[in-house]
Amino acid sequence: MKTQDLRKEFQVRVGFLQKERKITAVDNVNLDIQQSETVGLVGESGCGKTTLGRILAGLLPATSGKFFYRGNEITEIKKKKNKQIRREIQMVFQDPFSSLNPRMTVSDILSRPLKVFKIGKNAKERTKIVLETLESVGMKTEHMSRYPHEFSGGQRQRIAVARSLIVNPAFIILDEPTSALDVSVQSQILNLMVDIKTNFQLTMLLITHDLSVARFQCDRIAVMYMGRIVVISDKEALFNSPAHPYTKILLKSIPRTDPEQRRKKAISTGEVPSLLNPPSGCYFAPRCPLKMDICETKAPELKRVNEHQTCACFAVEKEK
Amino acid sequence: MKYNNSMAIYWRRISKNKMAAIGALIVLFIVVIAILAPVISPYEPDAQDLYSSLTGPSKEHWFGTDIYGRDILSRVIWGARISLSISSLAVFLSILIGVFLGAIAAYFGGILDEIIMRFFDILLSFPDILLAIAIIAILGPGRSNLITAITIYSIPQFARIARSTVVSEKTKEYVDAARLSGESEMNILFRYVLPNSLSPIIVQGTLRIAYAILIISGLGFLGLGIQPPTPEWETDLSIARTYLRASPHTGIFPGIAIFITVMGFNFFGDGLNEILNPRMKDR
Amino acid sequence: MEHLLEVKNLKIQFDTEEGTVYALENVSFHLNKGEILGIIGETGSGKSVTASAINRILPVPPARIVNGEIIFQGKDVLQYKREEMNKIRGKKISMIFQEPMTALNPVFKIKEQMSDVIMHHQKVNRKNAVKQATQMLEQVRIPDPEMVLDKFPHELSGGMRQRVMIATALSCEADLLIADEPTTALDVTTQDQILALIQEMRKNIDISVILITHDFGVVAEICDKVAVMYGGTVVEFTDIYTLTKKPYHPYSNGLLKAIPPVDKTIEKLNTIPGSVPNLLKPPTGCRFHPRCENALEKCKIDPPPLKEIEENHFIACYNPIKVGENNG
């Protein structure tokens, strides 16, 4: 999948008088995802990663820009002739509680997509596929006739993963799939995703705020900040030699599980500015230790730093 | 699509909630009477017996007789049938139409939403009984026109409820998931979203039946309701007005019938509300 | 030396329409003055119930305190009458939550809310209360306190709100601060700042802190001691360095191993099979036994008591991990 200057704006109402203001949730994003790789989309709140994910899933129209799937431009996945594409691009959502219809059994939830995409010649065949898919995500036959509220968060996510798998997709977008889960369950689901990626030969886009999850799952990682992509990097390069100052700070801020590695004081200053009032120039400039004059006037573009990383930062450019 | 172990929770709630239980019993009672009317009614409701006119409660006539000598008990029993069938049918129709329109207004939004909801706002600005009177005045009295009138003024309320629940459900992620599964938008609305929005509609439906019976009563009083000689609580009440001082029983029994039925449906509706909301607790 | 807070064998149940929830089975731990204790646990571990119990803000009913003592500064808080508890709550024991928006009133400015609290606990007038509030906001490193005081809660960012909450909680010079998932809703960079702030506060004003979280990194970052909770019981209680080096309880061990590391790439994560127990029908005996590799027959019958197996290292387990089996 490839995006070209993808942009998404929202109109929001602010303040007591409900004035309408515009925010740019996704700002001229250019990202490509190769077949069979897992790309991580990482960032803090308001960075636009969920919005971008939904646009790529065809759930949200972009304001401007294009994106391509297998070389063809996608304008409207919903249209009838795009049914094949609709089947190939699937998504797993963050909240295991609201992403499953409370009034449908597991069997209904999983067999509906088969019916809609006309997979399986009759009910018997469809049931067989449902059972196989349930098994591949670690669930059992007797779960078929139960309702979502009877399951734990981890089990519901497994059902959600099964739903995305059952139509035999090529590309799955995962939006914070483990953020709402306990740590012990998270590890199960993360392992599961590694397995299904191999077994089903999938391409994946993993959206997460947790860099340790990204490190475990992804081949390449794109870091977003306030709607812009600031870094695209191979995994090892990102963690071992981060170029962009925001990435450096982000990595250092993550609390380690070893108390010997405690920090004496806070790494970062300030917070992510509101999208209603973005700074001029580089969005990270107000908090950046390497800020230069140009950073406050112009927005840096993604430029290649070395064979593993591209980065949008004037300071990094200058050093090169 | 039934809930299994949740039935246990519902039962616990029903038994703990006396209001719902009493209401349910009353509603059940009235419905059974209405259905069995031909069987249990001691006399034909139209059978006149002028010699026994205006006799008080006695062994032959438990509720006494009216001005035409007709057995009041039989008329009350048959009246249940009429009242219930009219109000249920009217409410049922208004649910069908109102929920459909409210749901598509909410789901598709935009101009459709504006047009439909503004139209309903206009309807809602009239007091129900005035609207009903106006419609009866245009169409004339009679059973089917009565149903029409009640249906029309009830539609906006259901449209509103449907609209608000659909608006909140449509942003939930399972709706997006359904899109990913290739479902068409209409399918998503009617198969996924609406079934999750039913409980407030059911509650409102039961309350509306009670309310319809009261409206019929009001209209009956004005002579715009069911026309005699059809046995009908409200019309009987209206006729009984003239004879109330001398023969209060002609008015008391139909009146009590109305009272108990309306109360029963109200209790049942309120109780249903408590049972169905809060909905299934998620972990 | 007397502990500032000592919780002994706390057992709490909830009566709900679905049945009895066996929320806390046996919770014991202690906190010394000036320490930061981390209570870590997953869903259903009972960590939030414990926090609310200490401050007596559990709704009773449906909660029922079956057993136990909460000894704060020498007296059992559970025995206090309502007026006595009101004097302590907010004054000696202060609390901050995960989502400050629910604690702050959206229609009043910060200035009013903070000074209300100060005036409630101290005999000062509004003007002096606002002055104190300004000082407190400076202490929590808010660059422009006057501006913040003049705003409404929704006009502030998440991190700012949490700082305001901390400032308010500290404004009455409490001896104990209970922080229930204070950074869970914050970005990681903001979280880092808030955690550093809590540490600074501890150093400056010698306050003791109970920090409740599901994130082990947070505990490792600032806590001195840690109590690991599972299914309503404290399963391991010791200082943080010991726990990371020698997690004797199979659950603590599994939990630590299940966290994906940020500093190295690994192929597969270690997992704990199964999921957290249903507190309506918890497992018999030790609540972790269905998921435990080390489970013995005894574990299914009798819940193991919390015992001190090394100096200042308590665990509730009949068959703990041997030292050699741990990751060093």
User: What ipTM does this complex have?
Assistant: 0.86
Quick one: how many helices (H) and strands (E) in chain A? 10, 12
**Given this model, what pLDDT does residue A204 score?**
95
A247-266: pLDDT as tens digits: 999 999 999 989 988 887 88
Cβ–Cβ below 8 Å for B174 and A101: yes
Q: Residue B6 domain-assigned?
A: no
Residues 6+ apart with CB under 8 A from A140: A134
Q: What is the average per-residue pLDDT within B262-266?
A: 88
* The domain defined by C5-92+174-325 carries CATH number 3.30.379.10: no
Contacts of A59 in chain B (CB under 8 A): 176, 179-180
C141-191: pLDDT as tens digits: 888 888 889 988 888 888 889 999 988 888 878 899 999 999 988 889 999
A37-92: pLDDT as tens digits: 999 999 988 888 999 999 999 888 889 888 888 888 887 655 556 788 889 999 99
Q: Residue B12 domain-assigned?
A: no
**Could you tell me the pLDDT band of residue C235, with boundaries at 50, 70 and 90?**
very high
Cβ burial of C268 (10 Å; 0-12, 13-18, 19+) is exposed
Rounded to the nearest integer, the mean pLDDT of chain B is 82
Kindly tell me if the per-residue pLDDT of B280 is higher than 50.
no
CA distance C6 to C70: 6
Backbone angles phi, psi at C256, to 5 degrees: -60, -40
Q: Residue B3 domain-assigned?
A: no
Contacts of B13 in chain C (CB under 8 A): 17
Phi-psi region of C138 (alpha: psi -120 to 50; beta: other; left: phi over 0): alpha
CA distance C5 to C30: 6
Q: CATH number for the domain including B235? A: 1.10.3720.10
B96-128: pLDDT as tens digits: 999 999 998 988 888 888 999 899 999 889 888
Mark which residues 23-52 of A lie under 8 Å from C by CB: 44-45
Cβ–Cβ below 8 Å for B182 and A102: no
Comparing A302-316, B207-221, C39-53, C207-221, the range with the smallest average pLDDT is B207-221
Secondary structure (3-state) at A37: coil
Phi-psi region of A65 (alpha: psi -120 to 50; beta: other; left: phi over 0): left
Secondary structure (3-state) at C264: coil
Comparing A231-240, A279-288, C94-103, the range with the smallest average pLDDT is C94-103
For chain B, percent of residues with pLDDT exceeding 90: 12
Q: Which domain holds residue B41?
A: 23-276
B144-162: pLDDT as tens digits: 888 898 999 899 999 999 9
Q: Which residue has the tokens 């002994």?
A: C8
Number of structural domains (chain B) is: 1
**Given this model, what pLDDT does residue B61 score?**
80
State how far residue C15 is from chain B, nearest Cα, in angstroms.
Answer: 14
**Given this model, what pLDDT does residue A78 score?**
56
Asked whether A142 and A179 are in contact (CB, 8 A), the reply is no
Q: Residue B282 domain-assigned?
A: no
> Which chains reach chain B with 3 or more Cβ–Cβ distances below 8 angstroms?
A, C
Domains in chain A, please, with CATH? 31-62+75-225 (3.40.50.300), 245-254+268-320 (no CATH)
Q: How many CB atoms lie within 10 A of CB A109?
A: 26
Q: Where are the CATH 3.40.50.300 domain residues in chain C? A: 5-92+174-325
**Given this model, what pLDDT does residue B46 score?**
77
CA distance B281 to C14: 16
Asked whether C308 and C314 are in contact (CB, 8 A), the reply is yes
Q: Residue B13 domain-assigned?
A: no
State how far residue B223 is from chain A, nearest Cα, in angstroms.
Answer: 47
Kindly tell me if the per-residue pLDDT of B94 is higher than 60.
yes
CA distance A222 to A26: 14
Tokens (6 digits) for A170: 């090529």
Contacts of B9 in chain C (CB under 8 A): 17-18
Among A77, A103, A157, pick the best mutation site for testing chain B contact (most B Cβ within 10 A): A103
B182 touches chain A (CB under 8 A): yes
Q: Strands C233-239 and A89-92: what pairing?
A: unpaired
**Given this model, what pLDDT does residue B43 score?**
80
Contacts of C17 in chain B (CB under 8 A): 9, 12-13, 16
H or E element at residue C85: helix C82-88
**Could you tell me the pLDDT band of residue B15, with boundaries at 50, 70 and 90?**
low
Length reported for chain C? 328
B178 touches chain A (CB under 8 A): yes
Predicted TM-score of the model (pTM): 0.84
**Top-confidence residue, A33 or C170:** A33
Q: At what angle do helices B18-40 and B72-108 cross, to 10 degrees?
A: 130
Q: Residue B70 domain-assigned?
A: yes
Among C151, C160, C181, C188, pick the best mutation site for testing chain A contact (most A Cβ within 10 A): C188
State how far residue B282 is from chain C, nearest Cα, in angstroms.
Answer: 12
Q: Residue B11 domain-assigned?
A: no
Kindly tell me if the per-residue pLDDT of B33 is higher than 90.
no
Tell whether omega for the bond before C62 is within 30 degrees of 0, i.e. cis: yes
Asked whether C106 and C153 are in contact (CB, 8 A), the reply is yes
Q: Residue B108 domain-assigned?
A: yes
**Given this model, what pLDDT does residue B16 score?**
63
Cβ–Cβ below 8 Å for B177 and A102: no
CB pairs under 8 A between A and B: 72
Among B10, B170, B175, B180, pick the best mutation site for testing chain A contact (most A Cβ within 10 A): B180
For chain C, percent of residues with pLDDT exceeding 70: 98
**Given this model, what pLDDT does residue A102 score?**
87
C184 touches chain A (CB under 8 A): no
Kindly tell me if the per-residue pLDDT of B67 is higher than 90.
no
A123-168: pLDDT as tens digits: 899 999 999 999 999 898 888 888 898 888 889 999 999 999 999 9
- DSSP for C86-122, please give it: HHHBTTTEEEE-S-HHHHS-TTS-HHHHHHHHHHHHS
H or E element at residue A6: strand A2-14
